[in-house]
Structure 1
Amino acid sequence: MTHRQVLEAMSGLMLAMFVAFLSSTVVSNALPTIITDLRGTQNQYTWVVTATLLSSTASTPIWGKLADLFSKKLLIQLSIVVFIAGSMLAGLAQTVETLIAWRALQGLGLGGLQALVQIAIAAMISPRERGRYAGLMGSVFAAATVGGPLIGGVLVDTSWLGWRWCFYVGVPFAAIALVLLQRTLHLPVIRRDVTIDYLGTAFLAAGVSALLIWVTLAGHGFPWVSVQSALFLGGAILAVVAFLVTESRAAEPIVPLRLFRDRTTTLAIIASIAVGVAMFGSTVFLGQYLQISRGFSPTEAGLLTIPMVGGLVLSSTVSGLLITRFGRWKAYLTAGSVLVMAGFGLLATIDHETDMVLLCVFLFVLGAGIGMSMQNLVLAVQNTVAAADLGAASSAVAFFRSLGGTVGVAVLGAVLSNHVGDLVQDRLTGMPGAAQAAGGGAVGLADLADLADAPAPVEALIRMSYGDATGRIFLVSAVVSVVAVLAVLFIREVALRTETGDERERAERSDAVRIDTDRIEGRDADGERTDEVARPRQPMVR
């Protein structure tokens, strides 16, 4: 493909990727209004986000396997159609339960977009040339990250549009992407025999779902120490064990267990889980804090997230340039993980009266840490593993980062809901007549639906409680970030390779041929002849 042909094909792919990123960020500022309008609970607030993350995470490896069997172009278009269907149905939802269901369908399409766009780019652009187009991908990510909350805020604040357009807004972009891809993306259909690990995917989804449901319902639907807790937790453990057994026997597992033999990959995955909690947890609950506790409009809340996005874009760009120039990466990765921990530690001090200038500084620190950590964790893994495992290792880091975000949103949401309930209970006790005005439902007032019907003094109390409780979830995130710092410190820095992925794979094949030749001729590792003659073995060709 010529440079012009690549740019034409990238236009449709980048628009599809923009739709995927936009759908994740545009809803964040609208969620408080959505849940209040549909009379939802704090737990349902969390599941509107978690349903999409869970379905996209579970489906991503399946879409990747299907790309080896069918046309990549057709699969990208199919994932866009699934996304459009889920978005339209989500916009028509009349209850939170149906909204969660359609968000899960939307997540299936997102999983396809996240996996297949990267696969298509790798198929048409060589690794040596891919950096030439990396700026396009970064610009799309930045535009969706900055524009999503702003667009969501404007839509919610516009009376003749409303929050339902947060789900419709991506549909025109997706439709245009369909047309562009049909006209510009021309990839050969190269099939190979693959085995899709459906059983492993099912066990993983079952284990994570059981864990999330337990965390969400425990403390409200049933006690933490109860038969129900034992059933959910025991089921999650059994599903994870079954997943590990399945992966050890599967011909092509979705998460190859051999990757965990490498220390760098294992530690990077552990750190990625913590980064996932940082990325998703901060954005989901930050908008709720700014709107529910501080009283900002959705548009204003979107503008106040710019410092975090600015820190992310600035640090990722600068650290990437410095790593390319000097060839050292661990110092930036370590600094990034420390900044993530520091950012969360600073945010743990916020309450309903925190100065907004300080809050913006805290968010900038957090964004700078995420920007230096996220891309460099993938770089560390790709620089270490064999060329044949580049795709699997990169996918594993991204997979566990999304998984960490999914679990993190559910856990942090449960922590927030429980703490808000406790604060409301305590403060109602100290307010004469407040409990009677609230109808005696102190704990229930932790739900966002009560804001629409609560008397003015009780409404103020709920908003104050949300502001004071938000610091607790950032404290939990700071503790989780300590694990990321420790994991990064134990990663061994390996000099950056100068060969592309294709060059490394050819070198590895040559080594395999040389070793086989030495065995056939009866030579040892030093080239001396021996009496041992081995059967010829053909090198693996991928």
Structure 2
Amino acid sequence: MTQSGSSLASPCFRQSLDRTKSTATSVRSVDVGLAPPPSLSCDTLQSVLEINSSQPSPTTSAASSSTLVSIASRKEGQQQLSTTRLLLAHIGWVACSFLGACSNRRFDLSAALTLFLATTDATIVSTILPTITLQFEASQNEYTWVSVVYMLTQTAFQPLYGKLSDLVGRRTVLYTSMLIFTVGSALCGAAQSITMLIASRAIAGVGGGGIVSLVWTITSELVDVQSQAKWSQALSVTWACSAVAGPLLGGLFSVFLNLPICAAAFIVLCFSLRSVQIGSESGTTWSKLWRTFDFLGLILFMGGSSCIVIGLNNATNLRADEATTITLILVGVVVLVSGGVYETRTKRDALFPPIAFRDLTIVLFIIFLHNFAFNAGTFYLALYFQGVNGFTPLEAGLAMLPYSLGSSLASMPTAWFIGYWQKRKMDTSGQKFVTCLGLAIACTGFGLMMLLGTQTPRILQSLFILIAGVGIGMLFHAPYQIFTRALRRRDVASGTSAFFLVRFTGATVGLAVAGAIYQAELTERLPTGISTSNVLQYLDSYPPQGFRPEVLNALALSLKTIWMVCCPFLGVALLISLFMRNLFTEEESGSVTDQEKYAGSMRSSELAPEV
């Protein structure tokens, strides 16, 4: 190692270097956690050692050490999964989710099942919640909190999952999250009051957040760069399909639904991951976690977000201009801004990788606004079909199929297009195109949804929400790929947690804002003597014909205001998406060092200096 100069001049090294360059993609795959192919010989490993010894950068040396540990610890000949097998596996998990059992699959199926749990639970109450509200005689504030509290707790622990998985292992954190989620789901099914239901949803959210974060983290580590598009595509399809299953299953049988899926996913996970090495040697210890983790940043971020969410939810019971509401929202904004400034200056391990504030800010804004509109749209669209159209929960779930099925189906061809375009151009221009197009379609769809009223024909209802759903579905896949492309390997876990921290925050704030808007508009439009807290009970009791149309019109106009807010938010996201940078994917240029990723280099890296 100390004689790197003479090694570079040796004929043996030149032969090894030629072999190394011919297997550049294979070396790259090792860097993200795959087993080396059988053709990667000891001579090649020696050349990699000599190449890295000639580069004095400590960051590069650390990356190469991680690569060698990964090479030494893997079994040769690990099978990579084809797109066909991934598609078949996802057809399998759909069947498993209904049957409550699963066949002998690998991590593709288990990951899909596990992700299906957490993402479906976020929307499964949308169609059944009006019925639950009637049963428990819940207020409008409690109605909103059933979903908001799940998203809030799902968000709160996101930054910890990455660090804890580095410390105690990916499997341990994933299995623990599944256990917490299962307990919370069981308590939801056994809830005898709206308060118990809200508390149980909070517990389920803690586990659901860990499931989402760990599934994406493990996937990014087990799959090489060339196959990451396929796997990200598969998980994105799962995420979008949960939008289909959530409202529909909520209308069918939401009580205890998650329990058999939890059992099936756990069994398949134990089988598929039993002999797979996950994660890297990070050197994390409990004492180091306590010394270096950004606890203050987490408190500031969650404190600010919670103040805003609570303030917006207070607006559903109080006037929007009440001092308490305004104070909470302003305090939340100030705390969040302070947290952002602190994150850029802290010496601890920041919640967000430094590059997120420099090159990825646009991506974070886009995913925030996307999930703002997606969750608000899904949640209150179900209320439109049940309240305005008078549908049952099952009928509402079926009526929402154009929206949710459009999201699911749109995510598949766009993901395949991204994979195809990425192989041709070797950059993220395909992801940028899909993101811009999806935002344009979603913005158009939500604009058309503003035409939904009490007399809108069913065919137009389906068409408008289909357009919105297609646009929303195109955005499940591309932003995550752009975000992770710029991350250093050692930042994958924390970066993934940061990505979903912003995604879940957008979903939480979206529900809270939509709830405040709905309450304020409904209070202003309802006839005198009718309370917003019992409007659904009022409609369910078949009031005199003279009052019913007025109440239905007030409900439809109040929901229309939500679409009016979502539409310009998506328009803003579209405008800023035009300024996203293209990043080279480096799939055929060799391994990219952590130092070059950190600097946001736009050029291909070289395996070794010219000799």
Q: Please classify the TM superposition score into its range, dividing by the shorter chain length.
A: 0.7 to 0.9
Letter of the 1:174 partner, please give it. C
Identify unmatched segments of 5+ residues in structure 1.
Answer: 156-165, 429-440, 513-524, 528-542
Letter of the aligned partner of 2:262 in structure 1? A
Kindly indicate whether the alpha-carbon contact (under 8 Å) linking 2:219 and 2:231 is maintained by their aligned counterparts in 1.
Answer: no
Q: In structure 1, give the amino acid aligned to 2:357.
A: F
Structure 1 counterpart of 2:189: 91
Alpha-carbon distance, 1:444 to partner:
4.2
TM-score, normalised by the number of residues in structure 2: 0.73
- Most deviating of 269-278 and 385-394: 385-394
Q: 1:244 aligns to what?
A: 340
Kept in 2, the 8 Å contact 1:312–1:368? The answer is yes
Residue of structure 1 equivalent to 2:571: 482
Aligned residue runs from structure 1 range 139-150, under 5 A:
139-150=237-248
Which letter maps to 1:301?
A
Other-structure match for 2:510: 408
Give, in whole Å, the separation in 2 of the partners of 1:269 and 1:167: 35
**TM-score, structure 1 as length reference:** 0.81
Deviation at 1:13, TM superposition (A): 2.8
CA distance in 2, matches of 1:53, 1:201: 16
Q: Percent identity?
A: 26
The residue that corresponds to 1:172 in the other structure is: 260
Using the alignment, how far apart are the partners of 2:523 and 2:597 within structure 1? 61
Residue 352 (structure 1) aligned to one of 444, 447, 454: 454
Q: Does structure 1 residue 192 correspond to structure 2 residue 279?
A: no
Does the 8 A contact of 1:41 with 1:449 survive in 2? no
Question: Tell me, what secondary structure is at the counterpart of 1:503?
Answer: coil
Give distance in 2, aligned partners of 1:205 and 1:344: 29
Alpha-carbon distance in 2 for matches of 1:169, 1:510? 43
Query: Is 1:467 aligned with 2:556?
Result: yes
Equivalent in the alignment of 1:278? 373
Q: Could you tell me whether the CA contact under 8 Å between 1:42 and 1:448 is conserved in 2?
A: no
Aligned to 1:59, which of 129, 147, 157?
Answer: 157
Partners of 1:381 and 1:452 lie apart in 2 by 47
CA distance in 2, matches of 1:507, 1:284: 43
Contact 1:40 1:448 in 2 (8 A): no
- The residue number in structure 1 matching 2:325 is 229
Describe the shift of the 1:313–1:22 C-alpha distance in structure 2 as closer, same or farther (beyond 3 A): closer
Say if 2:283 is the partner of 1:207.
no
**SS of residue matched to 2:518:** helix
Q: Find the aligned partners of 2:322 and 2:246 in 1 and give their Cα distance.
A: 41
Q: Residue type of the partner of 1:417? A: Q
User: Could you tell me how far 1:359 is from its partner in structure 2?
Assistant: 1.3
Render the CA deviation track for 1:3-28: whole Å, top value 9, x for unaligned: 39995234333221121122223222
Cα distance in 1, alignment partners of residues 233 and 358 from structure 2: 33
Aligned partner (choices 42, 48, 58) of residue 140 of structure 2: 42
Contact 1:446 1:462 in 2 (8 A): no
- For structure 1, which segment, 393-402 or 76-85, has the greater mean C-alpha deviation from structure 2 after superposition? 393-402
Check whether the contact 1:206–1:239 (CA below 8 A) recurs between aligned residues.
Answer: yes
Counterpart of 2:474 in 1: which secondary structure?
A: helix
1:496 Cα deviation (Å)? 4.2
1:340–1:365 Cα contact (<8 Å) kept: yes
Kindly indicate whether residue 384 of structure 2 is the aligned counterpart of residue 309 of structure 1: no
Residue 95 of structure 2 is aligned to residue 11 of structure 1: no
**Residues 240-249 or 25-34, more deviating:** 240-249
Distance 1:242 1:167, change over 3 A: farther
Whether 1:379 aligns to 2:481 is: yes
CA distance in 1, matches of 2:325, 2:300: 19
1:463 and 1:309, CA in 2 relative to 1: closer, same or farther beyond 3 A? Answer: same
Tell me: CA distance 1:501–1:184, structure 2 relative to 1, closer, same or farther (3 Å): farther
Query: Counterpart of 1:350 in 2: which secondary structure?
Result: coil
Cα deviations across residues 328-379 of structure 1 (Å, max 9, x unaligned)?
4233322211111111110011112211111111111112211223322233
Contact 1:40 1:449 in 2 (8 A): no
| Displacement after TM superposition at 1:243 (Å) | 2.4
Q: 1:32 to 1:321 in 2, by over 3 A?
A: same
CA distance in 2, matches of 1:71, 1:85: 22
Q: Over aligned residue pairs, what C-alpha RMSD do you find?
A: 3.2
Q: Whole-Å Cα distance in 2 between the matches of residues 511 and 207 of structure 1? A: 30
Q: Which residue of 1 aligns with 2:356?
A: 259
- Stretches of structure 2 that go unaligned for 5 or more consecutive residues are 1-74, 82-103, 601-608
Aligned residues: 487
Distance in 1 separating the partners of 2:140 and 2:533: 10
Structure-1 separation of matches of 2:453 and 2:313: 24
1:184-239 CA-to-partner distances (Å, cap 9, x unmatched) read: 32344745224333332222222111111111213633x44443235323432443
**Aligned with 1:251: secondary structure?**
coil
Q: Does 1:107 align with 2:205?
A: yes
Report the Cα offset of residue 249 of structure 1.
1.3
1:49 aligned partner, one-letter code: S
Whole-Å Cα distance in 2 between the matches of residues 334 and 341 of structure 1?
A: 11
Measured against aligned partners, the alpha-carbon deviations of 1:301-339 in whole angstroms (never above 9, x if no partner) come to 112222123332333322333333344423332221111
Alpha-carbon distance between aligned partners in 2 of 1:74 and 1:510, rounded to the nearest angstrom: 29
Residue in 1 aligned with 2:585?
A: 497
CA contact (8 A) 1:388 1:505 kept: no
* Displacement after TM superposition at 1:267 (Å): 1.5
Alpha carbons of structure 1 residues 500 and 26: separation in structure 2 relative to 1, 3 Å = farther
CA 1:501–1:347 in 2, change beyond 3 Å: closer, same or farther? farther
Q: Is the 8 A contact 2:297 2:339 kept in 1?
A: yes
Query: Following superposition of structure 1 onto structure 2, how do residues 380-395 of structure 1 map, counting pairs within 5 Å?
Result: 380-384=482-486, 392-395=494-497
Structure 2 counterpart of 1:337? 439
> 1:482 Cα deviation (Å)?
1.8
Aligned-residue offset at 1:109: 0.3
Aligned to 1:291: 386
**Structure 1 residue 445, shift from structure 2 partner:** 5.4
Q: Work out whether residues 367 and 506 of structure 2, in 8 Å CA contact, stay in contact via their aligned partners in 1.
A: yes
With over 3 angstroms needed to count, the CA separation of the structure-2 counterparts of 1:47 and 1:74, relative to structure 1, is same
Distance in 1 separating the partners of 2:379 and 2:559: 11
CA gap 1:504/1:456 in 2 versus in 1, 3 angstroms: farther
The Cα of 1:387 is off from its aligned counterpart by 5.9
Question: CA shift at 1:128, angstroms?
Answer: 3.2
- What per-residue deviation string (whole Å, max 9, x for no partner) do you get for residues 274-307 of structure 1? 1011211111011111011101121121122221
Distance 2:570 2:340 in 1: 26
For 1:3, give the aligned amino acid.
Q
Counterpart CA distance in 2 for 1:388 and 1:421 is 51
Are residues 1:120 and 2:190 paired?
no
Contact 1:37 1:449 in 2 (8 A): no
In 2: Cα distance, 1:80 partner to 1:246 partner: 33
